[in-house]
Every structure is written in C-alpha cells, then in structure tokens.
Amino acid sequence: MNTERSLDQIRADLGPLADRPGLAISLAELGQPGSRYRITTPAAVVDLDALDRNLARQAERARQAGLAIRPHAKSHKTSAIALRQMALGASGICCAKLAEAEALMARGAGPVLITSPVAGPDKAARAAALAARDLGFAMTVDHLDGVAEIGNAARSIGTRVRLVIDVDVGLGRTGVSSLDQARQVAEAIAADDNLDLVGIQGYGGQWQHMAGANARAAAVGEGMKTLAAVATALRAEGHAINLITGGGTGSFSADANQQVLTEVQPGSYAFMDRQYREALADDEDGAFETSFFIQARVISANAPAWVTVDAGLKAFATDGGMPEPSGEAWAGAKFRFFGDEHGMLTRPEGRVVARGDRVELTAPHCDPTVDRHEVLHLVRGDVLVDIVPVEARGASQ
C-alpha cells in the first residue's frame, strides 16, 4: 500500500473519526491508484509534493537571511504539518490562541509562542500550565494587568513563564502603543521572579496582502523603525531583548532586508491561498505553490448553464471572495455559493460535465477554511497517501 504511514497508525491518529462511515470509505482507498478522486466529498485536500516544496523553500530563505523561522500554525492547525516544519529546522511554532497550543503541544509540536495577548486569570492559569509542560513556551503581553495575571498564575503552581512584549507597529489590533508603555511592561516583568522577558514582537498584518513589493517594503520599513526603537530603548535599560519576532508570508523579503527581526512567523506560505496569490503575484514572496484545495463533487447537472456541487458556505471561509476551480478541465468555470451545502459552477466551454464529476477549488483564505474541516487528505499525484486530523480546529479559546 502506497501510504505515508501504516493504516493502523493512521486509524490510531484519527481516533473516533476513523469510525465515521464517510471517512471509513476514504480510508479504504488509501494507497490505491486514482484514490485522490474517490474520497468522500466535500474534502480538504493537501498536495504533499507542493506542500513539501513550499516548506523547504521558506526554510531555506530564512536560513540564507540568517533568521530563525517559527511558522504560524493558525494557517494549518495540524500537528502533522507543524512537525514537518520543525523537521526542516523551525525554532518552534506560533499559535494565535491557547487552545491551539494545547491541542498541538499534546501531539509533540512546539515550543509554542502565543502571538496574541490574553485577558483574565483563567487564561493566565492555562498559559502557566503550558509553560510548566514546556519551558520553551512563551506568551505575548501588552499590558501591566496581563503581566500581573500571568505572574500570579505562574507563582501559584511554582513555574516560570517566558514573556514577549507585543508592540503595535501600525495594525492597531494589539500591542503596546508607546515606548513608555513598553518600558512599564518590561519593568513589571523584570520585577516578578516568576516571569522572564525574552523579547518583543511586532506583526504588521496590514502589510501582508499589500500589492506590490515596493509598497510592502516601504510600509514594513516604517513599522520596523518603531520595533527597533523599542528594542534599543529596552536594551539600554538592561533588559535582555534576545528575540525580535514578527512578519508573515507577504512581508518576508522586506522583513529580511530591514534586519530588525531575529525570527519570522510566516504561515500561509504552506498552502498559498488565492488572496496571497493575487496580492503577491510575481513577487519573490509569492513564489509558492497552491497546495491546499477543497474537493467537491457534481451532485446535479440538470441546468443547461451550470452544475451544482456539494461544497457550499460550510466548506469555505467566505471573507475573501469566491473559490476558484483548478485544473484545465474546469478552465473558465466560475463558482458562487448556492447555499450552506452547495455551490454553483458554470459549465466550462466545450466540455460536457456530468453528475459525479470531481472538481478541486482553491480557497480564498486558507486559515478559516481549514477550520471548517476535521481532517486533511494528503495526496501525492492521484494517490491518497494519508489522512490526518486537524487537531486545533475550532480552538478559538
């Protein structure tokens, strides 16, 4: 059987999911020629050859730039992919939420940096518990109250927590908003025996889909001035700022050229969704392959101008426009949502489309689209070689 792992390993990894009738049908096809196109639909499909090339390319770019790489797992939410990234030299992974870290750390991924601050003693207690499990775990903070909450939680269980100060570099979503605030947060961390300040973070989400390499470079340059100023000031006051982390798929080239960051956090490069493809175009940052698709099946072909497929609003994130059919067989066809469970595809010119035909669609925005699916079907060519759980699916707490 031509698979990545044995059937017993795959079934054990999937747990109770393996007993679902639809997934059992796909499991029975593992390793068989043509099995990519016999899985139960709608299904999240990852082309492993394209994925592996993407992961290797970004790892090498970071190595040549002298930057550590800590890929953001919010894009794939899957330990199988995180472990592939770690095998290529990643310094760990990023998670947006504690629940993501809890799910992925349980499967051996890490060390984890939580890139969003949290609020409340309950969240602080969970962060301290993760730090007790893995001394490499780190949290971002941007407020004195957050420092106090995490310090108290760490003290209550006798552990230490590594903290990274989040700096607003123009996005306005999170982060200290002034140098004085950064100093106050740093001083509070230094005064707590259960906390260690290890660095700062600056993420410019507003830069990632900015069209044009020159425009992105100019915007990144302004944001990095802010981040560099904070690092310089805190170091001058005796704080050990050994880690300066941030960046993303769209800003990697500009991040590397600025020489401010010591570590980068790209995520979507693994899958390369349509939003990134269109924004980055022929720029160096866009030279990745689409490796993630949603496979659907034609369930009705009675209308003369279109067919209906079994992937609708519940199969895709809807914040980034319409999915697009891939492959020459569907050239020129257009998709639109046809309800919760269904999609409409216009008939491609010059080709007869029949009930049961398959189509793979590119996701406009990969991160929330992955979150719609419990498993990823891993393929090489036309062969289904593995099925892995999306452990951090729905892990938004």
| Partner residues linked to 199 by β-bridges | 164, 243
- Distance separating alpha carbons of residues 322 and 309, to the nearest angstrom: 14
Model-level pTM? Answer: 0.95
Domain CATH code at residue 352:
2.40.37.20
- Distance separating alpha carbons of residues 139 and 165, to the nearest angstrom: 8
The pLDDT, as a whole number, for residue 206 is: 86
Identify whether 129 is part of a domain: yes
Q: Which of 132, 261, 112, 118 is nearest to 199 (CA)?
A: 261
Give residue 381's pLDDT band: very low, low, confident or very high (50, 70, 90): very high
330 lies in the same domain as 266: no
> Where is the domain boundary, 222, 245, 273?
273
Q: Is 171 helix (H, G, I), strand (E, B) or coil?
A: coil
Identify whether 144 is part of a domain: yes
256 lies in the same domain as 363: no
Identify whether 28 is part of a domain: yes
70 lies in the same domain as 106: yes
Total residues belonging to the chain: 397
259 lies in the same domain as 379: no
Please compute the mean of the pLDDT values over residues 88-106 and round it to a whole number: 97
122 lies in the same domain as 236: yes
Token pair listed for 56: 């290797």
Cβ contact 93:85 at 8 Å: yes
- DSSP run (H or E) holding 295: strand 292-300
Long-range contacts, 20-27 (Cβ 8 Å, 24+): 23/375, 23/387, 26/377, 26/384, 26/387, 27/387
39 lies in the same domain as 55: no
The pLDDT, as a whole number, for residue 1 is: 62
pLDDT digits (tens, 9 = 90+) for 72-89: 999 999 999 999 999 999
Token pair listed for 97: 């939420």
- Distance separating alpha carbons of residues 262 and 248, to the nearest angstrom: 13
What mean pLDDT is reported for the chain?
Answer: 95
24 lies in the same domain as 67: no
> Where is the domain boundary, 224, 250, 273?
273
Identify whether 179 is part of a domain: yes
Identify whether 280 is part of a domain: no
| Partner residues linked to 308 by β-bridges | 300, 344
22 lies in the same domain as 100: no
- Distance separating alpha carbons of residues 75 and 247, to the nearest angstrom: 14
* CA 219 to chain centroid: 23
Give residue 178's pLDDT band: very low, low, confident or very high (50, 70, 90): very high
Give residue 366's pLDDT band: very low, low, confident or very high (50, 70, 90): very high
Domain CATH code at residue 73:
3.20.20.10
Name the domain count of the chain: 2
Q: Are strands 43-47 and 292-300 parallel, antiparallel or unpaired?
A: antiparallel
pLDDT digits (tens, 9 = 90+) for 145-163: 999 999 999 999 999 999 9
Give residue 260's pLDDT band: very low, low, confident or very high (50, 70, 90): very high
41 lies in the same domain as 58: no
Identify whether 395 is part of a domain: no
**Radius of gyration (Cα) for the chain, nearest Å?**
22
Identify whether 350 is part of a domain: yes
161 lies in the same domain as 181: yes
pLDDT digits (tens, 9 = 90+) for 195-215: 999 999 999 888 888 788 888
Q: Are strands 292-300 and 358-362 parallel, antiparallel or unpaired?
A: antiparallel
> Where is the domain boundary, 215, 247, 273?
273
Cis previous bond, 111, omega within 30? yes
243 lies in the same domain as 202: yes
Identify whether 27 is part of a domain: yes
Q: Could you list the residue range(s) of the whole structural domain that residue 162 is in?
A: 49-273
Task: Calculate ∠ Cα 372-331-359, nearest 5°.
Answer: 35
34 lies in the same domain as 56: no
Q: Is 21 helix (H, G, I), strand (E, B) or coil?
A: helix
